[in-house]
Amino acid sequence: MPARLLVHLEPAPDRPTVPPSHTGPAVNAAFPGALRDAGESDLSETLHETPPPKPYTLTPLPAEWDRRAGADSRKVQSEVGLPADSLPAPVTQALAATEHLRVARRAYRIAAVTPAAAEPYARLLAEVRPVERWAMRIGTPVAFFTAKGEGARRVRSGRGSVGETVYRLAGPRRAAPDTGHRSDALICFASYAGIGDRTDIGTGHLPPAPVRR
C-alpha cells in the first residue's frame, strides 16, 4: 500500500554547518546511499537508475513546516513518499537500520523512522468523488514539466509556487463523464506521490492537511 514515512534527524555533535537554502537535491543524493549502506544495494540502484518520474518523493529538511533548517536546528525531518506497494517495507527497514545520514555538508543521526500515513489503494479509490474543484496547500515549490517551446522545462531548486491553491475542471460540461472521478483519484494519490515535476528532490509536497473539495 502507498505510505508516507517521517525520518527524524538530529545534527551530529560536530561544528554546526548551515544546510543549503534548498536541501531537496542533497536529501535525494543521500537517500539511495542510505539504502545501499543498509544492505539494499539492488533497491538503491533500481531507484537511482529509474528515469523520472521516480517511484518515491522526498522533502527538504524543515525543522517544522514552512521554516528551513538552519545551523541551530536541533531536530529536523524529511518525509518520504512511497506510492508503490513494494517499497514501504524494505525502505522502512533500511532507514531504521541506518544510524547516520549526511545531507550536503551536514551530518545527522537518524533518531527515528515513523509512519506518517498509509492506506490501501482500495481505500483511496473508495474516497474518490465526482467533483470539479479542489483546494489544497502546497508546502514546497511546485512546477511542471512542459513540452519544448512551452516555457521552462525543468524545475530549479527552490523555485516554484507554494501556498494555498485551487484547481478546477476547465469546461466540466464538455469533459468526459468520468473526468471528475479520475481527477479526484489523482488528487487523493498526490498525498503520497506529490504534484508536478521532480518530486524526488523535494518539490510539489502536499503537507498533511485535508484537501477541500
Express each pLDDT in 183-196 by its tens digit. Answer: 999 998 998 999 98
195 assigned to some structural domain: yes
Average pLDDT taken over every residue of the chain: 84
- Listed range (20-29, 113-122, 138-147) with the worst mean pLDDT: 138-147
110 assigned to some structural domain: yes
Which CATH number do you get for residue 81?
A: 3.30.70.1890
The domain of 134 spans 123-201
Q: What is the pLDDT of residue 20?
A: 64
Burial 28-40 (b: 16+ CB within 10 A, else e): bebbbebbbbbeb
The domain boundary, picked from 119, 148, 164, lies at 119
Residues 110 and 129 in one domain: no
Residue 67 has pLDDT above 90, yes or no: no
The domain boundary, picked from 98, 119, 140, lies at 119
Residues 111 and 131 in one domain: no
Residues 81 and 27 in one domain: yes
Residue 52 has pLDDT above 60, yes or no: yes
Number of domains in the chain: 2
Residues 138 and 168 in one domain: yes
Q: Using 50, 70 and 90 to split pLDDT, how confident is the model at 36? A: very high
Per the structure block, which three cell numbers stand in for 12? 551530529
Q: Using 50, 70 and 90 to split pLDDT, how confident is the model at 152? A: very low
Q: Return the ∠ at Cα 76 (arms to 72 and 78), rounded to 5°.
A: 145
212 assigned to some structural domain: no
Query: Which strand (E) or helix (H) includes residue 47?
Result: helix 41-49
Q: Using 50, 70 and 90 to split pLDDT, how confident is the model at 12? A: confident
45 assigned to some structural domain: yes
Are the C-beta atoms of 40 and 94 separated by less than 8 Å?
yes
Q: What residues contact residue 151 under an 8 Å CB cut-off, 6+ apart?
A: none
Are the C-beta atoms of 110 and 100 separated by less than 8 Å?
yes
Place of cell 537511482: 48
Residues 130 and 79 in one domain: no
Residues 156 and 70 in one domain: no
Residues 136 and 79 in one domain: no
DSSP annotation of 201: G
**How far, in Å, CA of 104 to CA of 63, rounded?**
16
95 assigned to some structural domain: yes
